[in-house]
């Protein structure tokens, strides 16, 4: 091994965690639990893991929870845990989108920190109400836009912020997948069913499920805010009520005297050959960079007029923003779970600071309820623009 002194977290007591959703058969619940364990900052102690009580109990026991802390509903869990001496301090909400609002509300209003899947809610009204509740609660709200946890995404963001790309002119974001190329929701595949159901997902299909990630990352890396968009949405699969492909043109807000940056966003779930093809490219007056989620330990950077460089996680050219959220030396790939774990660890930093009554370290970064509102607003704008034949819609 090449590098000394890999990160070793100073020990603080583990944060007591509960979970809503994520019972047997769920995908993202297991991801959250691994993510919470990797850096050893959380201890899962309670759960309302399924809306079916027997499944909830079975799943809880399977995870080693005490039966008394395996709940049949999130509301019951919120009420009881808030009263326990060592009740949970934080809760992970990993349900379909339409449950986020109500579940989060129950915990926030009891001062329990919320770590919630994206998109924030299934409609913009709920999102705004939830923001208000979160802001007034005093509890923290962490949205798991997990791709922001990748070290080379942090590196990219830092390079843009440091001016290494100059003024940003163009941002190209894309997120193609292929798993909805055929009408799998009609075969009952659970992940497909709720994601293509407006009642559970909201107004956006691919835009909500993955477009929000691409949009979030485009802004996270570029440091820009979106001004307006023009979108053309399609449902290529017969009978699918939500979009499965979206082409979006982007106009960002100007920063100072610079010309406003432009961009494109393409998300698709009907693009054969793409498993999970999230890619972000940013171009400025001084250079360009490119990051691809499937190869997350690499960042391509071209200073204008010079050779393209391959910056690797913790390798030469990789700076402190990446190192802060990195665990192992260059050449030893970290992946999706580690990036997801970083969101949890950032949350732990923030929660521990809050418990200690201290300001959180300025390097701690995590997506918040504000990012969640922006994401739902993005979906709304896409749908609105597309209905108006691709007219520009302000965010």
| Residue 282 DSSP SS3 | strand
Query: How far apart are CB 357 and a copy of itself at their closest, in Å?
Result: 23
Query: How far apart are CB 316 and a copy of itself at their closest, in Å?
Result: 5
Across-strand partners of 175?
Answer: 267
Structure tokens at 47: 């759960």
Query: How far apart are CB 371 and a copy of itself at their closest, in Å?
Result: 19
Distance in angstroms (rounded) separating the CA atoms of residues 197 and 34 = 28
Q: Which helix H or strand E contains 29, and what residues bound it?
A: helix 28-38
Query: How far apart are CB 136 and a copy of itself at their closest, in Å?
Result: 32
Structure tokens at 179: 């798993």
In the complex with a copy of itself, the residue whose CB is nearer, 284 or 367, is: 284
Query: What is the layout of strands, in order, in the sheet containing 141-143?
Result: 42-48, 15-20, 90-93, 113-116, 141-143
Distance in angstroms (rounded) separating the CA atoms of residues 326 and 150 = 8
In the complex with a copy of itself, the residue whose CB is nearer, 61 or 79, is: 61
Contact 379, 202 (CB under 8 A): yes
Distance in angstroms (rounded) separating the CA atoms of residues 164 and 160 = 6
In the complex with a copy of itself, the residue whose CB is nearer, 198 or 303, is: 303
Peptide bond into 119 cis (omega under 30): yes
Query: How far apart are CB 82 and a copy of itself at their closest, in Å?
Result: 26
In the complex with a copy of itself, the residue whose CB is nearer, 137 or 293, is: 293
- CA proximity to 50, closest of 90, 107, 96: 96
Please give the sequence-ordered ranges of beta strands (E in DSSP) within 32-74, or none if there are none.
42-48
In the complex with a copy of itself, the residue whose CB is nearer, 69 or 105, is: 69
In the complex with a copy of itself, the residue whose CB is nearer, 107 or 291, is: 291
Query: How far apart are CB 137 and a copy of itself at their closest, in Å?
Result: 29
């Amino acid at each position: 091994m090449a590098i000394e002194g890999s990160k070793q977290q100073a020990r603080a007591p583990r944060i007591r965690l509960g979970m809503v959703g994520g019972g047997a058969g769920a995908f993202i619940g297991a991801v959250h639990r691994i993510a919470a364990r990797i850096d050893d900052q959380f201890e899962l102690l309670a759960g309302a893991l399924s809306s079916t009580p027997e499944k909830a109990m079975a799943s809880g026991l399977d995870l080693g929870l005490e039966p008394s802390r395996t709940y049949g509903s999130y509301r019951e869990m919120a009420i009881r845990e808030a009263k326990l001496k060592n009740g949970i301090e934080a809760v992970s909400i990993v349900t379909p989108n339409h449950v986020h609002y109500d579940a989060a509300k129950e915990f926030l209003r009891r001062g329990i920190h919320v770590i919630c899947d994206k998109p924030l809610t299934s409609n913009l009204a709920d999102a705004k109400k939830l923001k208000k509740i979160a802001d007034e609660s005093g509890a923290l709200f962490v949205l798991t836009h997990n791709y922001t946890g990748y070290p080379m995404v942090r590196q990219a963001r830092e390079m843009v912020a440091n001016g290494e790309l100059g003024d940003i002119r163009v941002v190209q974001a894309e997120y193609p997948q292929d798993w909805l190329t055929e009408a799998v929701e009609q075969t009952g595949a659970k992940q497909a069913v709720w994601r293509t159901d407006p009642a559970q997902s909201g107004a956006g299909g691919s835009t909500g499920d993955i477009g929000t990630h691409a949009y979030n990352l485009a802004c996270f890396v570029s440091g820009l805010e979106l001004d307006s968009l023009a979108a053309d949405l399609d449902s290529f699969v017969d009978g699918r009520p939500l979009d499965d492909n979206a082409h979006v043109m982007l106009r960002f807000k100007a920063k100072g005297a610079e010309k406003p940056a432009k961009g494109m966003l393409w998300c698709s779930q009907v693009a054969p050959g793409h498993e999970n093809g999230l890619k972000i490219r940013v171009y400025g007056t001084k250079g360009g960079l490119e990051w691809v989620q499937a190869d997350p330990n690499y960042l391509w950077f071209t200073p204008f007029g010079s050779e393209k460089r391959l910056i690797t996680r913790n390798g030469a050219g990789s700076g402190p923003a990446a190192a802060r959220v990195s665990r192992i030396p260059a050449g030893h790939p970290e992946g999706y779970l580690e990036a997801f774990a970083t969101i949890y660890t950032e949350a732990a930093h923030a929660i521990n600071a809050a418990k200690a009554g201290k300001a959180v370290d300025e390097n701690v970064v995590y997506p918040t309820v504000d990012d969640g509102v922006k994401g739902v607003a993005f979906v709304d704008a896409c749908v609105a623009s597309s209905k108006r034949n691709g007219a520009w819609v302000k965010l």
